[in-house]
Amino acid sequence: MKNSEEITIVGFLEGNQIGVIDSDGKFYTRPNLGYNSRKFFNSVESAESYIEKLNKSENNSPDFCYKVEIGN
């Protein structure tokens, strides 16, 4: 994806980024995930909708959260 804004989802535990959503739509925690292996979204709204679906289907720690990340 080559836009001025590249929208991805990252996961945080106790305020520290610990992983990203990969191109398969799964949470990936290894530090060597290539940037192009991330799942990219067309809009912030679509990424937020994806996070809502993840939150409904997963039972995460209260110290864990997903956030939308916008890069360029």
Q: For position 4, what pLDDT does the model report?
A: 56
Q: For position 5, what pLDDT does the model report?
A: 81
Q: For position 31, what pLDDT does the model report?
A: 67
Q: For position 1, what pLDDT does the model report?
A: 42
Residues of the chain with pLDDT under 70: 1-4, 31-33, 72
Q: For position 67, what pLDDT does the model report?
A: 97
**Angle subtended at Cα 12 by Cα 3 and Cα 58, rounded to the nearest 5 degrees:** 100
DSSP 22: B
Q: For position 51, what pLDDT does the model report?
A: 97
Q: For position 14, what pLDDT does the model report?
A: 95
Q: Where are the domains of the chain?
A: 6-71
SS3 state at 62: coil
**Angle subtended at Cα 14 by Cα 13 and Cα 19, rounded to the nearest 5 degrees:** 20
SS3 state at 71: strand
Q: For position 21, what pLDDT does the model report?
A: 94
